[in-house]
């Protein structure tokens, strides 16, 4: 079956002498692996079209019952070269790509592709020093889109409303913030200040938060990574790109 679908290049690696295997987030198939035959030949029809984080229309020949489909053409629409030009933006984009590759389903999800497209577009033009904040917002928006939004306005356990002005306990396995009574017997909860909770609410709703200082960015990166680790269902492989991004200095 032949199919043309809007896509983003999330991962690519060399295969045999002349080919590349590319993992795409697509509108119609979700996450999909395709082989781009001849992509490494000097005069390949793909040129730079399959560079990481590029958007375009993928023409795919799907094979029933196979995990690897064949890419027959890719018309790039946005290259996002700006993401590769800065180490910090690149690290943040790689973390977002990893989130999508580990959490996104192998099925149609137009809202997810739109959210990923807007997040990478914003990251590509983020002013120096604000890329990490943009990526954090994008990551939580993508998690909300994927159905993993943590509970922030009511207790994740008993659903009692939480005062937005107070710090609360945040428990990854419980799925979000806890009221005092539910938090008391629980171990391993983090304290989530009121301001951080407000910021996360904005991000989950797809809104922008003001740029954060470096320690706040790192606290949010750690909270995000711990939340993702708790909710991974594909085994214990570490989130390498996310960890690398977290260890980066902010700015540049």
- The residue ranges that bind Zn ion (CB under 5 A) are 155, 157-158, 160, 179, 182
| Closest approach of Zn ion to the CB of residue 156, in Å | 8
Q: Which is nearer to Zn ion, 60 or 179 (CB)?
A: 179
| Closest approach of Zn ion to the CB of residue 159, in Å | 7
Q: Which residues contact 40 (CB under 8 A, 6 or more apart)?
A: 14, 17, 18, 19, 20
Is-contact 203 148, C-beta < 8 A?
no
Can you list the positions of beta strands (E) in the chain? 2-15, 19-26, 30-36, 55-61, 68-78, 168-171, 176-178, 190-192
Q: Which is nearer to Zn ion, 179 or 212 (CB)?
A: 179
Q: Which is nearer to Zn ion, 92 or 174 (CB)?
A: 174
| Closest approach of Zn ion to the CB of residue 180, in Å | 8
| Closest approach of Zn ion to the CB of residue 192, in Å | 14
Count of positions (residues) in the chain: 252
Is-contact 102 71, C-beta < 8 A?
no
Q: Which is nearer to Zn ion, 85 or 158 (CB)?
A: 158
């Amino acid at each position: 079956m032949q199919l043309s679908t809007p896509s983003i290049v999330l991962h690519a690696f060399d295969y045999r002498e002349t080919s590349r295997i590319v993992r795409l987030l697509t509108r119609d198939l979700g996450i999909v692996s395709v082989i781009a035959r001849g992509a490494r030949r000097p005069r390949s029809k793909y040129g730079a079209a399959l560079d990481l984080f590029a958007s375009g229309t993928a023409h795919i020949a799907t094979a029933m019952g196979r995990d690897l489909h064949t890419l027959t053409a890719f018309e790039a629409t946005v290259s996002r070269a700006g993401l590769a030009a800065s180490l910090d933006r690149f690290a943040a984009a790689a973390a977002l790509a990893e989130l999508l590759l580990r959490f996104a389903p192998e099925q149609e999800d137009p809202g997810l592709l739109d959210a990923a497209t807007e997040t990478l577009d914003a990251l590509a033009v983020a002013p120096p020093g604000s890329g990490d904040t943009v990526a954090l917002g994008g990551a939580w928006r993508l998690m909300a889109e994927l159905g993993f939004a943590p509970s922030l306005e009511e207790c994740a356990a008993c659903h009692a409303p939480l005062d937005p002005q107070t710090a609360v306990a945040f428990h990854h396995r419980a799925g979000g913030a806890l009221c005092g009574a539910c938090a008391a017997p629980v171990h391993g909860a983090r304290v989530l200040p009121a301001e951080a909770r407000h910021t996360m609410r904005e991000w989950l709703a797809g809104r922008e938060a003001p740029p954060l200082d470096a320690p706040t960015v790192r606290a949010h990166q750690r909270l995000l990574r711990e939340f993702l680790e708790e909710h991974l269902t594909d085994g214990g492989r570490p989130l390498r790109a996310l960890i690398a991004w977290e260890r980066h200095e902010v700015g540049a």
